[in-house]
Amino acid sequence: MTTTTSSLRTHLWALFGCCLVSLGLYFPALNAEYVLDSHYVVAQNPAVQNPQSLFELFHHTRSDTYTSSHLSVVKDYQPMLLASLAQDCKIFGCQPWGFRIVNIILHGLNAFLVYCLILFVFRKWRNAVWGALIFCMLPVNEWAVNYIAVRGDLLQTFFSLTAILLFFLYFEEKNFLHILLSLICFIAAMLSREVAILLPLYLGILGFAYIQTHRASFISGTKVTRMIVMYVILAGVYYVLRLKYFPISSEALLGISSASINHWLVLVVDYNSRFFMPWMILSWCPGFANSLLIPLVVFTIFAIACTFVYFRHKSKPRGKQLLSGLLWLAVGSMTFFVTQSLFNQQGPYISEHFLYFSAVGFVIVLTALISKKAKTVAMIIFATYCGTILFQANQHWTTEQALLERVYTKDRDKKGAAYRQLVMKYWEYITSVDELIAAARDDKERSLWTQRKGNILSREEKFEKAISIYKEAIDLDPQNTAAQIELATTYLNNGQVSA
């Protein structure tokens, strides 16, 4: 695709606009504290704080510093995430705002890549502009951008979209360097987040649309398929090496059963409707927040509208774009089956960050779904709706306690990650701790909650009870050095050990 001076200027303005909109929307969250896993992944992670070498980061998983065994079994191998965080730490001195400014820039770059993707594959400049703008503003991207520990979503999207664009650029310019760089980006995407292994499927989806849109002699289904085979082989090599050197514990895997399939289908309906009705809005609906009714209605209306538009325009570029976006969402929904236990742990609000890459498919669908005549008005309304929600949400990113309490008010019945962290760090309610002790998955996790109970009793100066509880925590997990230190301190405070 030839690039004139005027078109280059237009693309640069698009890049500048994406970064500016992202910065404007997420600026209120810049000075927020570390939240949840960011403490383990960044603040308490020596591999990020002071790595011996960049190569060392490839020997660590993201969850190496987790203290809870039911989280450490996941073994997220994301060395690109750790490497980028380590570089930020050198530049910004491990200040949370430094990591977030990089996340915001990455989000702006990803929005620009969405613009390039729609323009390059579907040749629709207006769709590209609106798609990039909506991607910047989607409220479901709040946690992917603000939550430092899940930067892997941003990096995976950046490298995956770059790999896709280079893949199709190869067919236009016949320069094998583009394929080589695309394969390198594919590797980087898989090392950022494991679900990038599905990239060959996305290449197949967009390859079909590219062929139908361009109808040029330089590309055909056979040529695209041959090139995709290289990506499939590379994905297979990654998968084998990943399982050999960083095996996933059987505790983190979910077996196929009727219950797991039903739960997955619920997640597909629930989370694909979040693009229109994010959890922040659903939580405002008394009696419906924990019901599937509203998501099901939204999902059904969306599916009917897509079906109607597709069959009316299936032979036209609009229909091809719509089908490509729907297939993109379908592939993204496949990953929910593997990650559904993480959805439960994090709660319905925080886990929206899993939708980040799927959001690309959503904006492809949305810009094709709305007719040309109604597009400007409809997009302005939807962009205003999304931008207002997102800007309000970002206002709450201040202290960790304030943010977690806001999440808990929306996830109250789910009792996910926010609730557990509030009980562990801020709330001193014995009954809540006892509840979490009873729900612990193993002795290591039970020891942590028992230690927390001892901390509460010690602060209430009930030293005898606290000593007994700390001993119980140590019996559950002899490696719990924090409980041993707390026990010694409590002995001292109780006057049983002389200073």
- Report how far residue 433's alpha carbon sits from residue 300's, in angstroms, rounded to the nearest whole number: 41
In angstroms, what is the C-alpha Rg of the chain? 24
Q: For tokens 């808990």, what's the residue?
A: 408
Choose the weakest-confidence range: 99-108, 257-266, 452-461: 257-266
Question: What is the reported pLDDT for 498?
Answer: 43
Question: What is the reported pLDDT for 188?
Answer: 94
Residue 248 banded pLDDT, cuts 50, 70, 90 = low
Residue 285 banded pLDDT, cuts 50, 70, 90 = low
- Whether the pLDDT of residue 2 is over 70: the answer is no
The string of pLDDT tens digits covering residues 24-38 is 999 988 888 888 778
The string of pLDDT tens digits covering residues 158-207 is 999 999 999 988 888 888 899 999 999 999 999 998 889 999 999 999 98
Calculate the average pLDDT of the chain.
Answer: 83
- Whether the pLDDT of residue 71 is over 50: the answer is no
H helix intervals, 138-220: 142-146, 151-173, 176-190, 199-214
Choose the weakest-confidence range: 74-88, 262-276, 352-366, 389-403: 74-88
CA distance to 135, 294, 367, per residue, from 195 (Å):
20, 29, 25
Structure-token pair, residue 94: 């491990």
- Report how far residue 230's alpha carbon sits from residue 170's, in angstroms, rounded to the nearest whole number: 14
Residue 398 banded pLDDT, cuts 50, 70, 90 = confident
CA distance to 54, 392, 397, per residue, from 30 (Å):
27, 14, 8
Greater pLDDT, 73 or 48: 48
Residue 343 banded pLDDT, cuts 50, 70, 90 = low
To which H or E segment does residue 313 belong? helix 293-313
- Whether the pLDDT of residue 41 is over 90: the answer is no
- Report how far residue 79's alpha carbon sits from residue 57's, in angstroms, rounded to the nearest whole number: 6
Choose the weakest-confidence range: 127-141, 161-175, 243-257: 243-257
Which residues contact residue 346 at a Cβ distance below 8 angstroms, ignoring those fewer than 6 apart? 416, 417
- Whether the pLDDT of residue 467 is over 90: the answer is no
Single-letter amino acid, residue 7: S
- Whether the pLDDT of residue 327 is over 90: the answer is yes
How much of the chain exceeds pLDDT 90, in percent? Answer: 28
Average pLDDT rounded to a whole number, residues 228-250 = 82
Residue 412 banded pLDDT, cuts 50, 70, 90 = low
Question: What is the reported pLDDT for 250?
Answer: 45
Greater pLDDT, 252 or 352: 352
- Report how far residue 145's alpha carbon sits from residue 142's, in angstroms, rounded to the nearest whole number: 6
- Whether the pLDDT of residue 73 is over 50: the answer is no
Structure-token pair, residue 198: 């599905």
Question: What is the reported pLDDT for 64?
Answer: 57
User: Contact at 8 Å (CB) between 199 and 158?
Assistant: no
Question: What is the reported pLDDT for 352?
Answer: 83
Q: For tokens 């060395």, what's the residue?
A: 79
The string of pLDDT tens digits covering residues 101-119 is 999 999 999 999 999 999 9
Contacts 24+ apart (CB under 8 A), 399-406: 399/32, 399/33, 400/32, 400/33, 400/34, 400/35, 400/36, 400/425, 401/425, 401/426, 403/32, 403/35, 404/35, 404/36
Average pLDDT rounded to a whole number, residues 279-287 = 70
Question: What is the reported pLDDT for 499?
Answer: 42
Average pLDDT rounded to a whole number, residues 343-357 = 78
Greater pLDDT, 413 or 401: 401
- Report how far residue 201's alpha carbon sits from residue 205's, in angstroms, rounded to the nearest whole number: 6
- Whether the pLDDT of residue 484 is over 60: the answer is yes
- Report how far residue 165's alpha carbon sits from residue 116's, in angstroms, rounded to the nearest whole number: 8
The string of pLDDT tens digits covering residues 193-232 is 888 999 999 999 998 888 877 766 567 777 888 889 999 9
Residue 356 banded pLDDT, cuts 50, 70, 90 = very high
Residue 423 banded pLDDT, cuts 50, 70, 90 = confident
